[in-house]
Amino acid sequence: MPIGEVIESSTRQFVAEVYRDQPPPAFGSWVRVVQPDGRTIYGLVSHVEMGSVEPGRRPMALGRSPDELRREMPQVLELIRTTFRAQVLAYEDPDGRIHQTLPPYPAGIHAFVEACPLEIVRRLGRPYDFLRTLVQNPDPAVPVDDLLVAVLRQIHDGHSDPEREQALIEAGRVLSRLLRDDHERLQAILRRVV
Protein backbone atom coordinates (compact mmCIF):
# COMPACT_ATOMS: atom_id res chain seq x y z
CA MET A 1 0.00 0.00 0.00
CA PRO A 2 1.48 3.38 -0.96
CA ILE A 3 2.49 5.68 1.88
CA GLY A 4 3.29 8.64 -0.34
CA GLU A 5 4.21 10.01 -3.72
CA VAL A 6 7.50 11.17 -5.27
CA ILE A 7 7.64 14.96 -5.64
CA GLU A 8 11.38 15.41 -6.43
CA SER A 9 13.75 12.88 -7.92
CA SER A 10 17.31 12.23 -9.05
CA THR A 11 19.33 9.05 -9.49
CA ARG A 12 20.87 9.65 -6.04
CA GLN A 13 17.77 10.48 -3.97
CA PHE A 14 14.08 11.25 -4.06
CA VAL A 15 11.71 13.30 -1.96
CA ALA A 16 8.18 12.07 -1.31
CA GLU A 17 5.12 13.59 0.30
CA VAL A 18 3.31 11.33 2.76
CA TYR A 19 -0.42 10.85 2.30
CA ARG A 20 -2.47 12.37 5.14
CA ASP A 21 -3.90 9.03 6.27
CA GLN A 22 -0.47 7.33 6.41
CA PRO A 23 2.24 7.53 9.07
CA PRO A 24 5.63 8.67 7.77
CA PRO A 25 8.37 6.06 7.37
CA ALA A 26 10.96 5.89 10.13
CA PHE A 27 14.41 7.40 9.75
CA GLY A 28 16.67 4.66 8.38
CA SER A 29 13.87 2.48 7.01
CA TRP A 30 13.80 1.09 3.48
CA VAL A 31 11.21 2.29 0.96
CA ARG A 32 10.64 1.36 -2.67
CA VAL A 33 9.28 2.89 -5.86
CA VAL A 34 8.03 0.54 -8.56
CA GLN A 35 8.68 1.97 -12.02
CA PRO A 36 6.49 1.42 -15.12
CA ASP A 37 9.42 -0.32 -16.90
CA GLY A 38 9.50 -3.08 -14.27
CA ARG A 39 12.41 -1.73 -12.23
CA THR A 40 12.05 -1.11 -8.52
CA ILE A 41 14.14 1.60 -6.87
CA TYR A 42 15.10 1.14 -3.21
CA GLY A 43 15.97 4.02 -0.93
CA LEU A 44 16.89 4.48 2.70
CA VAL A 45 14.94 7.22 4.49
CA SER A 46 17.53 9.80 5.53
CA HIS A 47 15.31 12.72 6.54
CA VAL A 48 11.68 13.20 7.62
CA GLU A 49 10.16 16.67 7.91
CA MET A 50 6.80 18.14 8.88
CA GLY A 51 5.91 21.69 7.93
CA SER A 52 3.58 24.09 6.25
CA VAL A 53 2.10 23.42 2.83
CA GLU A 54 2.89 27.03 1.92
CA PRO A 55 6.61 27.83 1.65
CA GLY A 56 7.62 30.68 3.90
CA ARG A 57 4.60 30.30 6.18
CA ARG A 58 5.33 28.69 9.52
CA PRO A 59 2.81 26.93 11.75
CA MET A 60 1.94 28.75 14.98
CA ALA A 61 1.45 27.37 18.48
CA LEU A 62 -2.30 27.17 19.18
CA GLY A 63 -2.36 25.74 22.71
CA ARG A 64 -4.58 22.79 21.77
CA SER A 65 -3.99 19.05 21.84
CA PRO A 66 -4.02 17.13 18.53
CA ASP A 67 -7.51 15.81 19.38
CA GLU A 68 -8.79 19.32 20.09
CA LEU A 69 -7.30 20.56 16.82
CA ARG A 70 -9.01 17.78 14.85
CA ARG A 71 -12.32 18.53 16.54
CA GLU A 72 -12.26 22.36 16.70
CA MET A 73 -9.94 23.48 13.90
CA PRO A 74 -9.57 20.68 11.31
CA GLN A 75 -8.61 23.20 8.62
CA VAL A 76 -5.32 23.85 10.44
CA LEU A 77 -4.21 20.26 9.89
CA GLU A 78 -4.90 20.63 6.16
CA LEU A 79 -2.09 23.21 6.06
CA ILE A 80 0.52 20.75 7.36
CA ARG A 81 2.38 18.21 5.25
CA THR A 82 5.01 15.57 5.90
CA THR A 83 7.81 14.85 3.45
CA PHE A 84 10.78 12.54 3.53
CA ARG A 85 14.00 12.18 1.60
CA ALA A 86 15.37 8.74 0.69
CA GLN A 87 18.92 8.09 -0.43
CA VAL A 88 18.81 5.68 -3.38
CA LEU A 89 21.05 2.68 -2.68
CA ALA A 90 19.80 -0.13 -4.91
CA TYR A 91 17.42 -1.15 -7.65
CA GLU A 92 15.83 -4.36 -8.88
CA ASP A 93 15.78 -5.04 -12.59
CA PRO A 94 12.73 -6.51 -14.38
CA ASP A 95 14.25 -10.01 -14.01
CA GLY A 96 14.22 -9.73 -10.21
CA ARG A 97 17.97 -9.21 -9.66
CA ILE A 98 18.88 -6.64 -7.02
CA HIS A 99 21.83 -4.35 -7.80
CA GLN A 100 23.32 -2.43 -4.87
CA THR A 101 24.18 0.59 -6.97
CA LEU A 102 22.43 3.62 -8.42
CA PRO A 103 19.69 2.93 -10.97
CA PRO A 104 20.02 4.03 -14.60
CA TYR A 105 17.07 6.43 -14.22
CA PRO A 106 15.53 8.32 -11.30
CA ALA A 107 12.16 7.49 -9.77
CA GLY A 108 9.27 9.04 -11.67
CA ILE A 109 7.53 12.13 -10.34
CA HIS A 110 4.16 11.17 -8.80
CA ALA A 111 5.26 7.51 -8.56
CA PHE A 112 3.95 5.72 -5.49
CA VAL A 113 6.29 5.03 -2.57
CA GLU A 114 5.80 1.96 -0.38
CA ALA A 115 7.48 0.77 2.80
CA CYS A 116 9.60 -2.33 2.16
CA PRO A 117 8.38 -5.56 3.74
CA LEU A 118 10.86 -7.54 5.86
CA GLU A 119 11.57 -10.09 3.13
CA ILE A 120 12.81 -7.27 0.88
CA VAL A 121 14.92 -5.83 3.71
CA ARG A 122 16.58 -9.26 4.01
CA ARG A 123 17.20 -9.38 0.24
CA LEU A 124 18.82 -5.94 0.39
CA GLY A 125 21.42 -7.23 2.86
CA ARG A 126 24.31 -9.34 1.65
CA PRO A 127 26.87 -8.37 0.34
CA TYR A 128 26.16 -4.98 2.01
CA ASP A 129 27.68 -2.98 -0.85
CA PHE A 130 25.22 -0.17 -0.11
CA LEU A 131 27.14 0.51 3.12
CA ARG A 132 30.04 1.78 0.98
CA THR A 133 27.73 4.36 -0.58
CA LEU A 134 26.48 5.45 2.84
CA VAL A 135 30.00 5.82 4.27
CA GLN A 136 31.76 7.34 1.27
CA ASN A 137 28.93 9.41 -0.26
CA PRO A 138 26.56 10.27 2.57
CA ASP A 139 23.70 12.71 2.43
CA PRO A 140 25.53 15.87 3.55
CA ALA A 141 22.55 17.05 5.62
CA VAL A 142 22.42 13.86 7.74
CA PRO A 143 24.80 12.57 10.44
CA VAL A 144 26.11 9.45 8.69
CA ASP A 145 26.74 7.49 11.91
CA ASP A 146 23.10 7.89 12.97
CA LEU A 147 21.95 6.65 9.56
CA LEU A 148 24.32 3.69 9.84
CA VAL A 149 22.86 2.84 13.26
CA ALA A 150 19.36 2.96 11.79
CA VAL A 151 20.21 0.75 8.81
CA LEU A 152 22.00 -1.77 11.04
CA ARG A 153 18.84 -1.91 13.17
CA GLN A 154 16.88 -2.67 9.99
CA ILE A 155 19.34 -5.48 9.18
CA HIS A 156 19.03 -6.82 12.74
CA ASP A 157 15.24 -6.59 12.88
CA GLY A 158 14.77 -7.91 9.35
CA HIS A 159 16.14 -11.34 10.23
CA SER A 160 14.76 -14.07 12.44
CA ASP A 161 16.59 -15.11 15.62
CA PRO A 162 19.01 -17.70 14.23
CA GLU A 163 20.19 -15.39 11.40
CA ARG A 164 19.91 -12.05 13.20
CA GLU A 165 23.30 -12.04 14.93
CA GLN A 166 25.13 -13.47 11.90
CA ALA A 167 23.70 -10.79 9.59
CA LEU A 168 24.77 -8.06 12.00
CA ILE A 169 28.29 -9.56 12.30
CA GLU A 170 28.66 -9.67 8.51
CA ALA A 171 27.47 -6.06 8.15
CA GLY A 172 29.81 -5.05 11.00
CA ARG A 173 32.78 -6.63 9.19
CA VAL A 174 31.98 -4.73 6.01
CA LEU A 175 31.57 -1.53 8.00
CA SER A 176 34.88 -2.13 9.82
CA ARG A 177 36.74 -2.28 6.50
CA LEU A 178 34.96 0.82 5.24
CA LEU A 179 35.78 2.79 8.39
CA ARG A 180 39.44 1.82 7.91
CA ASP A 181 39.61 0.03 11.22
CA ASP A 182 38.43 3.06 13.21
CA HIS A 183 37.41 0.74 16.04
CA GLU A 184 36.18 3.48 18.37
CA ARG A 185 33.77 4.80 15.75
CA LEU A 186 32.61 1.27 14.87
CA GLN A 187 32.03 0.44 18.54
CA ALA A 188 30.09 3.68 19.03
CA ILE A 189 27.85 2.74 16.10
CA LEU A 190 27.35 -0.89 17.13
CA ARG A 191 26.61 -0.01 20.78
CA ARG A 192 23.59 1.96 19.61
CA VAL A 193 22.16 -0.78 17.36
CA VAL A 194 20.51 -3.15 19.86
pTM, 2 dp: 0.87
Q: Are 27 and 48 in contact (CB under 8 A)?
A: yes
Q: Following DSSP, what letter does each residue of the chain receive, concatenated? A: -EEEEEEEE-SSEEEEEEPTTSPPPPTT-EEEEE-TTS-EEEEEEEEEEEEESSTT------S--HHHHHHH-HHHHTTEEEEEEEEEEEEE-TTS-EESS--SSPPPTT-EEEEPPHHHHHHT-TT-THHHHHHHS--TTS-HHHHHHHHHHHHHHTS-HHHHHHHHHHHHHHHHHHTTT-HHHHHHHHHTT-
The domain segmentation of the chain, as residue ranges, is 2-189
Residue 63 burial (CB < 10 Å; 0-12/13-18/19+)?
exposed
**What does the pLDDT profile of the chain (194 residues) look like in tens digits?**
899 999 999 999 999 999 988 899 999 999 999 999 899 999 999 999 988 787 777 777 778 887 887 888 877 777 788 999 999 999 999 999 999 999 999 999 999 999 999 888 888 888 888 899 888 888 888 899 999 999 888 888 877 777 888 888 888 888 888 888 788 888 888 888 87
CA gap 69, 56 in Å, rounded: 22
